[in-house]
Chain A
Amino acid sequence: MIDFSTKKAILIEDMAEARILQKKMLTDFGFKSIDIAMKAESAIELLRNNSYDLILSDYNLGNGKDGQQLLEEVRCSALIPNTSTYLMVTAETSIEMVMGAIEYQPDGYITKPFSQALLQRRLLKLLENKEKLKNINIALDTKNYDVAIQECRITIEKYPFLQGKCNRIIGECYIALEEYDKAKKLYSKELKKQKMPWSLFGLAKTHLLLKEYAAAETKLKQLMLDNKFFVNAYDWLAKCLIAQGRHTEAQAVLIDALERSPKSILRQIELGRLSLDLKDYHLAEISFRRAVFLAKHSCFNSSDIYLNHLRAIVGIASQQELLPRQKESFKSTLKKVEVFLSESIETNTAAHEIKVQLYLNQNDKINATDAFSLWEDDFKSGAASQPYNEIKEQLSL
């Protein structure tokens, strides 16, 4: 039997009534340490500074990020270890979004409304299973993938009902170890046994990693056809198309995916980068503007997002006169990037270049020269790299 009193829990729920009720339930089960967050953004801060055995999060968290995005962020950035349990509370209408995210799924979910007895049962079962997978998860957390595979095999021996879960982990370990042929064999075998989305997805991924693009494409398209909520399949199809140099098609796929699930920051960044490459500055600006918005309180917050948003506006300025709101947007993002400037010479240099280039693209030589001299000052004090010659030439200095 699991002893809840030694476990640390965090409860993430935006509705006060539900929060109070669920906290009482957890207290009744014996949990002594329960932290509370009302939205994903504050949850990230708590998750950054504490470790929890149980994360009980609602899917619907108001205006900000939803529970699934929170899960993806904290799992992807390893903010929570594999050993902790993520239980998602969903409504009937949101379950499809959770189930559709094949790459990052919660350990379990419970649909609202639920009784205290049902929550207790779910938690017990989940934590018991987590206990059985403990050695595997410890190995995964320390990136010992060979050990994780061994532990999976031991666990399958001991608990045959965990076979599916363990095989799925083994597949992911092979990919992490870049043993793609082994991964391919495993996924094909699983797929023959039973057509589960994770095995089809895994197989598609390995095809892509083995540069077997046609096969990867067919399988990803099959997944998209099977279930329109498998948005991860869109992301990987875009990667597959980019690898083949089919950038415009990839762009269309990402736009489609973002229509289904617009709040994904990584997807916005991906579309923004792709659009910059395609010199589609308008779309790049929209994507990075959204990414800038989403980056606040995100694990994926980095100076690149802001710099690329600025680059997109610089790009627009090379094609047309900037609208007042685009100028405003530039100013506001420039302000946001300031906190990153002291962190690296590259970031500071990039920001200088962007500023000079923006004035140049607007044929504003006076301000461009001023901006350039600020860059030179920073170079002299060692805060930035040397200004590029081609810019010097453009300024005819």
Chain B
Amino acid sequence: MNELDISTILASAIHESKNRIGTLLYHTHTIKNHKEMDTDIDQTVDTIENILKQLNDEWVEYLYLYKLSTNGYNIQYETLNVSEFLDDQVFVLSSTAISKNLTLDFRCKDGLFATFDERLITSAISTTIYNSFRFAKKTITITAEMHENFLVFSIEDDGPGFENDEHDDFLFSQNTGLGLYFCDLSAQSHIINDTSGYITKGKSDLLNGACLKIFLPQ
């Protein structure tokens, strides 16, 4: 993947956040005029909450992205119970998934332990799932397994997949943002005995949509 300079990252980040704020303003407008518009306020508040959460997650991602691309990030390895880790990821994103009528689940063998930077990978997985939220029809699945000396996270959906739409052209395409670039940098920053992590994108065998794999050396 080509290296992006920091001003491109910043411009793209601001571009995305601005879109998000536009949507928020639209929703607050709805609340203001709820009497005439006959809207369900609780639902609108939930939506606003989800958007704010996503905005927060994205800003966290941008901060990490800034640090990663300026060599200012110190990776913090921790040994984690992978299924507990994925349970956490699904848990925090489940309310957004429910509001979009999507099923989000994970598959992982019990007792699988792996070493990686929890916060960085949390951010990488959530950015991938936010992306899948836009394309999936019904289902998104995260799978974790060991493959040779790598821990592999696969994030799959039943949407149209990477090949034939803007999934592919990630930069500056509407909403898709810097996600893949960030995932790539996050994976690459994991280095064990001179082996770095990496990502691959392709077609999902499980759900026929997009499949992003994050490989982390162990």
Residues of A within 8 A of B (CB): 92-93, 95-96, 99-100, 111, 113, 115, 117-118, 121, 125, 160-161, 164, 194-197, 226-229
* Minimum CB distance partner of B218 in chain A: A194
Contact B56–A196 (Cβ < 8 Å): no
* Sample of 4 more A-B contacts, CB < 8 Å, known A92-B63, A117-B91, A118-B92: A92-B60, A92-B64, A92-B119, A125-B84
Q: What are the residues of chain B within 8 A of A113 when measuring CB–CB?
A: 56
Distance of A226 Cα from B119 Cα, bound (Å) = 18
Within the complex, which residue of A92, A93, A164, A227 is in contact with B74, where a contact is CB–CB below 8 Å?
A227
Q: What are the residues of chain A within 8 A of B79 when measuring CB–CB?
A: 164, 194, 196
Q: What are the residues of chain B within 8 A of A117 when measuring CB–CB?
A: 91
Q: What are the residues of chain A within 8 A of B192 when measuring CB–CB?
A: 195
Contact A196–B91 (Cβ < 8 Å): no
Q: What are the residues of chain B within 8 A of A227 when measuring CB–CB?
A: 74-76
For the complex of A and B, list the 3 residue pairs with the smallest distance between their C-beta atoms, beginning with the closest: A227-B74, A99-B76, A164-B79
Contact A121–B81 (Cβ < 8 Å): no
With A96-B76, A196-B77, A196-B79 already in contact, the answer to whether A160 and B111 are too (CB < 8 A) is yes
Contact A229–B91 (Cβ < 8 Å): no
With A118-B91, A121-B91 already in contact, the answer to whether A95 and B119 are too (CB < 8 A) is yes
Residues of B within 8 A of A (CB): 56, 60, 63-64, 74-77, 79, 81, 84, 88, 91-92, 111, 113, 115, 119, 192
Q: What are the residues of chain B within 8 A of A226 when measuring CB–CB?
A: 74
Q: What are the residues of chain A within 8 A of B63 when measuring CB–CB?
A: 92-93
Distance of A100 Cα from B77 Cα, bound (Å) = 11
Distance of A96 Cα from B118 Cα, bound (Å) = 12
29 A-B residue contacts at CB 8 Å?
A92-B63, A92-B64, A92-B119, A93-B63, A95-B119, A96-B74, A96-B76, A99-B76, A100-B74, A111-B119, A113-B56, A118-B92, A121-B91, A125-B84, A160-B111, A161-B81, A161-B113, A164-B79, A194-B79, A194-B115, A195-B77, A195-B192, A196-B77, A197-B77, A226-B74, A227-B74, A227-B75, A227-B76, A229-B74
Q: What are the residues of chain A within 8 A of B76 when measuring CB–CB?
A: 96, 99, 227
* Minimum CB distance partner of B122 in chain A: A111
Q: What are the residues of chain B within 8 A of A196 when measuring CB–CB?
A: 77, 79, 115
Judged by DSSP, the binding face of A is: helix
Q: What are the residues of chain B within 8 A of A164 when measuring CB–CB?
A: 79
Distance in Å from the Cβ of A167 to the closest Cβ of chain B?
A: 11
Distance of A194 Cα from B80 Cα, bound (Å) = 13
Distance of A357 Cα from B169 Cα, bound (Å) = 77
Q: What are the residues of chain B within 8 A of A197 when measuring CB–CB?
A: 77
* Minimum CB distance partner of A121 in chain B: B91
Distance of A195 Cα from B88 Cα, bound (Å) = 25
Contact B115–A228 (Cβ < 8 Å): no
Q: What are the residues of chain A within 8 A of B74 when measuring CB–CB?
A: 96, 100, 226-229
Most chain-B Cβ atoms within 10 A of its Cβ — which of A93, A100, A160, A161? A161
Distance of A261 Cα from B63 Cα, bound (Å) = 22
Q: What are the residues of chain A within 8 A of B84 when measuring CB–CB?
A: 125
Distance of A250 Cα from B98 Cα, bound (Å) = 57
Q: What are the residues of chain B within 8 A of A96 when measuring CB–CB?
A: 74, 76
* Minimum CB distance partner of A164 in chain B: B79
Distance of A164 Cα from B63 Cα, bound (Å) = 30
Distance in Å from the Cβ of A243 to the closest Cβ of chain B?
A: 28
Q: What are the residues of chain B within 8 A of A100 when measuring CB–CB?
A: 74
Q: What are the residues of chain B within 8 A of A92 when measuring CB–CB?
A: 60, 63-64, 119
Distance in Å from the Cβ of A377 to the closest Cβ of chain B?
A: 59
Q: What are the residues of chain A within 8 A of B119 when measuring CB–CB?
A: 92, 95, 111
Distance in Å from the Cβ of B14 to the closest Cβ of chain A?
A: 18
Distance in Å from the Cβ of B174 to the closest Cβ of chain A?
A: 26
Distance in Å from the Cβ of A225 to the closest Cβ of chain B?
A: 11
* Minimum CB distance partner of B49 in chain A: A115
* Minimum CB distance partner of B81 in chain A: A161
* Minimum CB distance partner of B193 in chain A: A195
Distance of A195 Cα from B84 Cα, bound (Å) = 22
* Minimum CB distance partner of A117 in chain B: B91
Distance of A17 Cα from B134 Cα, bound (Å) = 34
Distance of A316 Cα from B217 Cα, bound (Å) = 56
Q: What are the residues of chain B within 8 A of A93 when measuring CB–CB?
A: 63
Distance of A380 Cα from B133 Cα, bound (Å) = 84
Distance in Å from the Cβ of A191 to the closest Cβ of chain B?
A: 13
Q: What are the residues of chain A within 8 A of B81 when measuring CB–CB?
A: 161
Distance in Å from the Cβ of B149 to the closest Cβ of chain A?
A: 12
Distance in Å from the Cβ of B47 to the closest Cβ of chain A?
A: 15
Q: What are the residues of chain B within 8 A of A125 when measuring CB–CB?
A: 84
Distance of A93 Cα from B72 Cα, bound (Å) = 12
* Minimum CB distance partner of B110 in chain A: A161
Distance in Å from the Cβ of B120 to the closest Cβ of chain A?
A: 11
Distance of A179 Cα from B63 Cα, bound (Å) = 44
Q: What are the residues of chain B within 8 A of A118 when measuring CB–CB?
A: 91-92
Distance of A117 Cα from B64 Cα, bound (Å) = 25
Q: What are the residues of chain B within 8 A of A115 when measuring CB–CB?
A: 92
Q: What are the residues of chain B within 8 A of A229 when measuring CB–CB?
A: 74
Q: What are the residues of chain A within 8 A of B111 when measuring CB–CB?
A: 160-161
